[in-house]
């Protein structure tokens, strides 16, 4: 609940209570305030859990990409060496 909505709700409750017998039950304001605080706590917990899950996903993604990057770099070096060796073997077999 937004603060503006709570103020309107309390103003309406005060007007209704001042005209005659109270139309709202006792403890109404306290229960509304408790509900609002509970929702704020739930929203904070949800936000923290969301940030934690996003951070975890980014760490996992970074680890996976880092592993793939390492394997592609090492296999690329092996390919270059074998190509150079093949070129020397072909060059030497020609007679030079």
pLDDT tens column, 42-78: 999 999 999 999 999 999 988 888 876 666 655 555 5
pTM above 0.85, yes or no: no
The two tokens of residue 83 are 């190509």
Question: Is pLDDT at 96 greater than 60 in this prediction?
Answer: no
Residue 46 CA, chain-centre distance (Å), reads 10
3-state secondary structure of 21: coil
d(CA 14, CA 7): 10
Closest CA to 9 of 26, 34, 28: 28
CB neighbour list of residue 39: distance below 8 Å, 6 or more residues apart: 1
The two tokens of residue 88 are 């020397």
């Amino acid at each position: 609940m937004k603060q503006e909505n709570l103020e309107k709700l309390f103003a309406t409750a005060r007007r209704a209570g001042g005209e005659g017998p109270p139309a709202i039950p006792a403890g109404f304001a306290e229960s509304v305030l408790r509900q609002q605080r509970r929702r704020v706590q739930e929203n904070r917990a949800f936000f923290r859990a969301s940030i934690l899950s996003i951070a975890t996903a980014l760490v996992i993604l970074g680890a996976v990409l880092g592993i793939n990057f390492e394997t592609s770099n090492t296999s690329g070096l092996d390919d270059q060496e074998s190509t150079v060796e093949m070129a020397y073997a072909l060059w030497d077999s020609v007679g030079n």
